[in-house]
């Protein structure tokens, strides 16, 4: 039964008529750090936390998740640079984290001898700033200087500062930029490519750099030489130096849209276009051969190279009308390329075959290209973690729903594999098992999904079931091991389901493009089909079924909740897009119009408005008690989406929960303690909603 909530009472404030003016009465909630908006968020947090933290499982789930997330038994994943292993690490003693390195030999041992380079906790204390690690970009091939990113509270925007790996100090008169979405990429020791995003004149509509400049050491950034300028409507423009052994090429990449790129070769002060399709991606350079991943068919001369194919050809040929191309790998109907990596002499291609991984190695010599399969573990997900540019050694991770993540060191040249370390079994998986099913979507497409069944599972329709999906931007969701899901859900008799809906990349570009723009409804139909199939198989029932998604996945579950509330009893909607009328005007939203369409175009708004959750939520519908989360410091997906959706639903009389983390960025949490806290809130909510069902209300 729905509870009537008065918005002003729930918020703890009265909204002025001036702020409420316009077609959207909740526009004031888009003012990220506005006093009224923050008071509203605090009021909602207080109300929701009183409910969520009162659940009997909150404390035990929180304590166990925090123990897992901060355990020293986790894998310290390596990043190879100059033959050494680098790692960023957080634990209970290093909440903000440490950046450290060790030798490859030491890393293989049970207790590596880590050399700490930057202690972010100490730095934050010394500078009295809420620093969150935002990565490091180190200069090839010497790896003596790095551009270190430090975010305030976890936002995408970051301060960038040059760091000397030899002295272990920041260089005061080095390359330094204030908090922004600016980009710096190394050319050599004394020059970088600079993309400034410090003023409207320098930025695209999406908030990213619009120009590429060469910034010489010791000169003001304002005086950096302009070498390329894009359009304001572009997503971004960036410069980079790519290496092929001791050779290099300076590239400029202009992105007119999220899925389109124009590549240029910058040489001797001149810029020339590289001949690849607008939607293709350059994914590597080795032995003078440029590697290109095709997202659509490409006809060169009389030969057509099919969508999803990886091709290669001499770099110089791509500055002509007819590049000389060789097919390295062409996926089948139910397979796709999940990733391409290079070592000193090898190209590693990670392939998904019906959402299960395998790996191929390609090499090039005077006789052309050669391939062989690498003997990685089967029936799970494989991902290359890091490669060595000075040998054929590389690290990869293997995981599955019931298989703890295991890190291997391998040699592509010999196909030798050595297990380096693995995570503990965080939960007791004995008696659990995994099945892969398919559901028929509204248009007849078969949608695969995985079901992880707990010990003692019976198909009786009463199992609390969490269904998760993403369905966008060609992002593939593959099997993975999660101690958090295992201990918080599977061990407590929950069923976990991962759906491979369209919009993702599980079956290559076609799977993604099938749900673009005017076809977005297909992604929602796919998730609905999986939900219906789970119910038909008696895995669960509407009283016990919940859905979860974040970011684009938040849009997915928000739309499905609005369209088919009868199927659900719980919705976890995290850092979501929901107001699709204004998404392109908020933060980085303009960069996603290639995915969703342009709401300002009447023809495109005609289909967007049919599914936009914020525009379609109704006072007359009976929605499950949904749980929305966001972050004040999310500068990618605006927190106004979640705020406004909750405000509107409360105003309509729906019972809804909300939690806004003051920091955390688009990931929702700035540190491991916050991740544990939010996980405990989510799983307490899911157990409360799904273990008892609607009758429990």
The tens digit of pLDDT for each residue in 303-349 reads 999 999 999 999 999 999 999 999 999 999 899 999 999 999 999 99
On whether the CB atoms of residues 99 and 117 are closer than 8 A, the answer is yes
458-471: average pLDDT? 98
On whether the CB atoms of residues 435 and 658 are closer than 8 A, the answer is no
What's residue 6's pLDDT?
32
219 three-state secondary structure? coil
Q: Which tens digit of pLDDT belongs to each residue from 54-91?
A: 999 999 999 999 999 999 999 999 999 999 999 999 99
What's residue 516's pLDDT?
97
Q: Is the peptide bond before 141 cis (omega within 30 degrees of 0)?
A: yes
User: What is 481-502 written as a DSSP string?
Assistant: --HHHHHHTGGGT-EEEEE--B
Residue 12 lies in a domain: yes
Q: Which residues lie closer than 8 Å to 406 by C-beta, 6 or more apart?
A: 377, 397, 398, 399, 419, 421, 422, 423
User: What is 410-450 written as a DSSP string?
Assistant: EETTTTEEEEEEE----S--TT-EEEEEEEE-TTS-EEEEE
- Could you give the CA distance from residue 680 to residue 500 in angstroms, rounded to a whole number? 26
Give the pLDDT band (50/70/90) at residue 669. low
Starting from the edge strand earliest in sequence, which strands make up the sheet with 335-342, in order? 335-342, 347-353, 356-365, 368-374
pLDDT at 299 over 60: yes
Do strands 495-499 and 545-550 pair parallel, antiparallel, or not at all (unpaired)? Answer: unpaired
Token code pair at residue 494? 């929950």
Q: Which tens digit of pLDDT belongs to each residue from 237-264?
A: 999 999 999 999 999 999 999 999 999 9
What's residue 671's pLDDT?
82
Span between the terminal Cα atoms of the chain, in Å: 7
Q: Rounded to the nearest 5°, which phi and psi values hold at 76?
A: -85, 95
What's residue 670's pLDDT?
64
Token code pair at residue 447? 């949608």
Residue 134 lies in a domain: no
User: What is 69-128 written as a DSSP string?
Assistant: HT-TTS----EEETTEEEEEEEETTEEEEEEEEEEHHHHTSSS---EEEEEHHHHHHHHT
Residue 38 lies in a domain: yes
Residue 299: CA atoms inside 13 Å, Cβ hemisphere, count? 2
Per the structure, the count of domains in the chain is 1
Residue 226: CA atoms inside 13 Å, Cβ hemisphere, count? 8
- Could you give the CA distance from residue 536 to residue 539 in angstroms, rounded to a whole number? 8
Residue 162 lies in a domain: no
- Could you give the CA distance from residue 38 to residue 51 in angstroms, rounded to a whole number? 20
Residue 358 lies in a domain: no
pLDDT at 172 over 70: yes
CB atoms within 10 A of CB 507: 24
484-489: average pLDDT? 98
On whether the CB atoms of residues 241 and 249 are closer than 8 A, the answer is yes
Residue 436 lies in a domain: yes
Domain span at residue 492? 7-66+432-696
pLDDT at 1 over 60: no
Residue 344 lies in a domain: no
508 three-state secondary structure? coil
Give the pLDDT band (50/70/90) at residue 145. very high
- Could you give the CA distance from residue 479 to residue 433 in angstroms, rounded to a whole number? 13
- Could you give the CA distance from residue 545 to residue 540 in angstroms, rounded to a whole number? 6
Just list the catalytic residues.
551, 666
Q: Which tens digit of pLDDT belongs to each residue from 395-439?
A: 999 999 999 999 999 999 999 999 999 999 999 999 999 999 999
Residue 140 lies in a domain: no
- Could you give the CA distance from residue 223 to residue 423 in angstroms, rounded to a whole number? 50
Q: What CATH number is given to the structural domain containing 448?
A: 3.40.50.1820
CA angle, residues 614, 511, 204, in degrees to nearest 5: 55
**CA distances in angstroms from 525 to 561, 576, 588, 625, listed in the order given:** 12, 19, 27, 22
What's residue 665's pLDDT?
65
Going by the DSSP 8-state scheme, the letter that residue 325 receives in this structure is: -
């Amino acid at each position: 039964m729905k509870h009537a909530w008065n918005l002003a009472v729930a918020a703890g404030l009265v909204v002025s008529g001036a702020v409420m003016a316009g077609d959207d009465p909740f526009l004031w909630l888009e003012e990220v750090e506005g006093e009224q908006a923050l008071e509203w968020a605090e009021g909602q947090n207080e109300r929701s936390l009183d409910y969520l933290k009162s659940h009997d499982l909150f404390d035990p789930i929180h304590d166990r998740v925090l123990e897992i997330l901060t355990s020293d038994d986790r894998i310290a994943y390596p990043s190879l640079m100059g033959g050494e292993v680098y790692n960023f690490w957080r634990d209970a003693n290093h909440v903000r984290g440490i950046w450290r390195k060790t030798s490859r030999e030491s890393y293989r041992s049970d207790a590596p001898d880590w050399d700490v380079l930057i202690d972010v906790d100490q730095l934050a204390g010394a500078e009295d700033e809420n620093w969150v690690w935002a990565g490091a970009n180190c200069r090839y091939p010497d790896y003596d200087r790095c551009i270190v990113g430090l975010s305030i509270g976890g936002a995408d925007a970051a301060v960038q500062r040059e760091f000397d790996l030899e002295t272990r100090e920041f260089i005061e008169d080095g390359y330094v930029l204030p908090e922004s979405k600016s980009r710096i990429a190394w050319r050599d020791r004394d020059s970088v490519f600079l993309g400034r995003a410090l003023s409207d004149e320098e930025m695209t509509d999406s908030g990213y750099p619009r120009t590429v400049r060469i910034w010489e050491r010791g000169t003001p950034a304002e005086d950096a030489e302009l070498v390329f300028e894009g359009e304001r409507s572009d997503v971004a423009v960036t410069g980079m130096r790519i290496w092929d052994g001791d050779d290099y090429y300076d590239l400029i990449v202009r992105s007119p849209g999220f899925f389109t790129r124009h590549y240029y070769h910058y040489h001797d002060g001149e810029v020339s276009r590289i001949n690849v399709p607008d939607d293709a991606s350059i994914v590597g350079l080795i032995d003078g051969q440029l590697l290109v991943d095709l997202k659509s068919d490409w006809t060169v001369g009389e030969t057509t190279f099919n969508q999803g194919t990886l091709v290669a050809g001499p770099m110089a040929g791509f500055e002509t009308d007819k590049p000389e191309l060789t097919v390295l790998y062409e996926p089948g109907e139910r397979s796709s390329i999940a990733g391409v990596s290079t070592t000193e002499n090898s190209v590693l291609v990670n392939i998904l075959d019906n959402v299960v991984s395998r790996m191929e190695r390609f090499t090039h010599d005077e006789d052309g290209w050669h391939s062989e399969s690498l003997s990685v573990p089967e029936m799970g997900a494989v991902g290359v973690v890091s490669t060595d540019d000075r040998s054929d050694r590389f690290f990869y991770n293997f995981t599955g729903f019931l298989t703890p993540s295991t890190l291997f060191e391998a040699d592509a040249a010999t196909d030798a594999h050595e297990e380096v370390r693995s995570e503990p079994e965080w939960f007791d998986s004995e008696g659990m098992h995994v099945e892969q099913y398919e559901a028929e979507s509204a248009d007849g497409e078969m949608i695969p999904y995985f079901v992880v069944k707990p010990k003692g599972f019976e198909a009786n329709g009463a199992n609390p079931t969490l269904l998760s999906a993403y369905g966008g931007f060609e992002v593939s969701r593959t099997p993975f091991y999660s101690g958090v899901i295992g201990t918080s859900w599977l061990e407590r008799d929950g069923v976990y389901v991962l759906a491979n809906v369209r919009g993702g990349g599980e079956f290559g570009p076609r799977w993604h493009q099938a749900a673009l723009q005017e076809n977005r409804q297909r992604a929602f139909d796919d998730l609905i089909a999986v939900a219906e199939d789970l119910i038909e198989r008696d895995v669960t029932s509407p009283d016990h079924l919940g859905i979860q998604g974040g970011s684009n996945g938040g849009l997915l579950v928000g739309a499905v909740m609005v369209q088919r509330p009868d199927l659900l009893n719980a919705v976890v909607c995290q850092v979501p897009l929901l107001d699709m009328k204004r998404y392109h005007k908020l933060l980085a939203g303009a960069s996603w119009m290639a995915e969703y369409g342009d709401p300002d175009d009447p023809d495109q708004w005609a289909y967007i408005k049919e599914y936009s959750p914020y525009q379609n939520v109704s006072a007359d519908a009976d929605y499950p008690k949904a749980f929305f989360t966001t972050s004040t410091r999310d500068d990618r997906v605006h927190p106004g989406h979640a705020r406004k959706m909750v405000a509107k639903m409360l105003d309509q009389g729906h019972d809804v929960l909300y939690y806004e983390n003051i920091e955390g960025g688009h990931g929702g949490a700035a540190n491991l303690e916050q991740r544990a806290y939010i996980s405990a809130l989510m799983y307490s909510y899911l157990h409360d909603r799904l273990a008892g069902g609607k009758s429990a209300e």
